[in-house]
Chains A and B, each alone.
Chain A
Amino acid sequence: MTDKKITMGKTLIKKSSLSISENGLEKKSSSKRLEVLKTYKIYIGGQFPRTESGRYYVPTNAEGKKLANVCLSSRKDFRDAVVAARSAVSGWSGRSAFNRSQILYRMAEMLEGRKAQFIDELILQDSTKAKALKEVNLAIDRLIYYAGWCDKFQQIFSAVNPVASSHFNFSVPEPTGVVSIIAPQGDSLLGLVSVIAPVIAGGNTCVVLASETKPLCSVTFAEVLNSSDLPGGVVNLLTGKVSELASWYVDHMDVNATIYCENDSTIQKMMREKSAMNLKRIIFYDKVKWGTDEGQSPYFIMDTQEIKTTWHPVENIAGAGSSY
């Protein structure tokens, strides 16, 4: 857009580069549209609040580029999230296993639809295009993998026990309840999906602390969860510092199990000690290669299941002996 010269008599008046044409305002020489930046909030009870502490931190990528102003979640955020997770337990574990499998499959559908956004975020967080594509594809396939397990792992890990007395006796896995998870820190997406999926496939709810240095995908993943018919409170996602929150994740009396995915031995020791308060189950996934087939298995589901054994008498008529 060139400057317009208006000749008025002998004076040249140079108009500004922002000229008003007959059709309306036209912009500067480059027609760049200003991008609306995303506010990275946390995900609690199916909603997206900011951290109640109002604090933020600014993770940077390997080149030193600032990623975003990310919520620095507090102990109170964690406690609020546990309340949400606990109130979601009866609804989620009360659904049919088949329904849970449908919802996990829907999560895969939603993630597939938003692949491009995740690839962009991964690239921003030091991945390459090829690796990012591979990671997102594997995350989608892993959700489908666990969707398929929801209504099948029981058939593999249950038993009808041939007790010697005249009883029908059977043992089944049941979800442990609320699980607090400190997600793999080196992964923005795949590690997160790999720890969440088996926990909820088994009927538990969870409060997850995302990767401290690569938190972007976890917040976007919360949006995927939110559009997947997953009831609010089943997965709650916080961003923040592991060193600040780890002890709150492990000593909350209304949490049934804690999963920790790094190999800091001080934190591991602290967790074993503090979990003793309510005997919550402690699970360390510090050696798992999430990018391989080793990163998915029904045994991850069983890590957050309890076994319940039930007895019922069997009348003895028309046949001697005990029972099943």
Chain B
Amino acid sequence: MPKTISKKKSNTVKLKFDTTWKYAPAPESKSAATIKPQYDLFINGEWTKPSGGKYFDTINPANEEKLSEIADANATDVDSAVKAARNAYEKVWKKMPAKERAKYIFRISRIIQEKARELAIIESLDGGKPIRESRDFDVPTAANHFFYYAGWADKLEYAFPNRSTEPLGVAGQIIPWNFPLFMAAWKIAPALATGNTVVLKPAETTSLTALKLAEIIQESDLPPGVVNIITGAGATGAAIVNHPDINKIAFTGSTEVGKIIQRAIAGTNKKVTLELGGKAANIIFEDAPIDQAVEGVINGIYFNQGHVCCAGSRLYVQESVAKQVIRKLKDRIESLIVGDPLDKNTDIGAINSRQQLETIHKYIKIGKQEGSEMYESSCALPGKGFWCRPTLFTNVAQSNRIAQEEIFGPVLAILTFRTDDEVIEKANNSPYGLSAGVWTDKGSKIFNMTKRMRAGVIWANTFNKFDPSSPFGGYKESGFGREGGLHGLLPYLNLVG
């Protein structure tokens, strides 16, 4: 890329991104994927029509076109699914030797890998995320998550010293629309590995990859009823949460709904884990490798259109480097390509739904009203569909709503700080505590910061890194319970003395 040396007195080079050539379209073909015109509910190993006879449309948020019709499960359907899961648990799954359970889960992982391309395309069509992300992150990580947990099934006796383990029974799992297949893997894999059976509800705007997963589960010959996938919206989710024969609820979604669930199960014996929202602080110290830190911040908030619970949505930059960092951020967002999710050049895809876009617009308006300065990239946006340009706010105060409330979109709030004490206090000054980022070259400062941050996942000189063996989860109102790693087994087990 041609470089232009800025005429200003600073000694940093400004990179010019408007080059002499444009990116040629690089569309991924849809031909590798098959989407049926209508999907039923996957209960007891079979496709069952919804008892209310109702279906709802699922659309492609990039062009608002209908992709398929999804069954709407009512309370009767939820009951059938739970009965199937209970039956499978008592009669088959609980009795099966653990190493045989493991082999089914390995099979599911291998088949996901075989069908990786199809799943990536459907994920991008249904949810709006760029194909590069579905292909390189969502699908392989989902496959790996099944593969990792399969290995634990027959090794639980080693996991918790002086305790033997028992599964809980039937797990009701409700997952969000930001990483549909990946979240399904995070929920189903540990539940099966620990000997539980599952009733899972994907988000209503992104059901397709979960339904494809149901087909894969059928293909793996998993005994009927061990995994049941039922589609629907809030009412279906509530029916699952309230069902008396569910032993455990696992929920990933907004803090608001997490609190509703917590109240709903009060007085019952149900166990629960919640993985909720966040407002992560990403902290750049003056001795950080600045260009890498800028890339890290960009990835932290604009990856997956900012629809990430652990997104680095607050940037705290040390005053001495603030001007430089902010200028680099503004330059960098100009180069981000907002466009067709199926184009391999796209960096930022479509916002998942009209509703979410309206929420983001609301916060952008609030930010301006509160007195912060908004800056957005100048890229063109496609006509139809739901789109938002990468946006950042400067001159944000700690108590501004855009610094405290989760926006869940490509909007970054930038604040400054002078001392370590100050930024630690400000970063922790949030009801949330899911993740945090620290950028500095000084190792001892990293470990001090990681120790002081009240958050469940701390990234030092990196961001948005995930691994099946690495436990993930929040402090405070970002939820409780961990997913991934050895600690991720606990939510699905009773430890017996």
Contact = CB atoms under 8 A, between A and B. Distances in A.
A323 B443 CA distance: 13
A21 interface: no
Contacts of A323: 447, 451
Contacts of B144: 98
Contacts of B159: 156
A314 B444 contact: yes
Contacts, number: 83
Interface centre among A102, A148, A298 (most CB of B within 10 A): A148
A190 to B, nearest CB: 15
Interface stretch (B18-26, B147-155, B290-298): B147-155
A318 B449 CA distance: 9
A97 B485 CA distance: 13
Interface in A280-324: 298, 312-319, 323-324
B: contact size bracket: 20 to 34
B424 A148 contact: no
Interface in B470-487: 485-486
Nearest to A141: B99
Interface in A89-109: 97-98, 101-102, 105
A40 interface: no
Interface string A145-156: 101111110011
Interface string A124-164: 00000000000000000100110111111001100000000
A317 B147 CA distance: 41
Nearest to B467: A98
A172 B154 CA distance: 23
A314 B448 contact: yes
A105 B106 CA distance: 9
B421 A152 contact: no
B158 A147 contact: no
Contacts of A318: 420-421, 424-425, 448, 452
A168 B147 CA distance: 31
A312 B443 contact: yes
Contact of B447 (A98, A156, A315): A315
Contact of A317 (B158, B448, B469, B486): B448
Nearest to A101: B151
B442 interface: yes
A101 B151 CA distance: 9
Interface string B404-446: 0000000000000000110011000000000000000011110
Contacts of A150: 151
B151 A155 contact: no
16 contacts: A98-B144, A102-B147, A144-B102, A147-B151, A148-B102, A148-B151, A151-B468, A152-B155, A152-B469, A155-B469, A155-B485, A313-B447, A316-B448, A318-B424, A318-B425, A323-B451
Interface of A: 97-98, 101-102, 105, 141, 144-145, 147-152, 155-156, 168, 298, 312-319, 323-324
Interface of B: 99, 102-103, 106, 144, 147-148, 150-155, 158-159, 420-421, 424-425, 442-445, 447-448, 451-452, 468-469, 485-486
Nearest 3 CB-CB pairs, A to B?
A148-B151, A315-B448, A315-B444
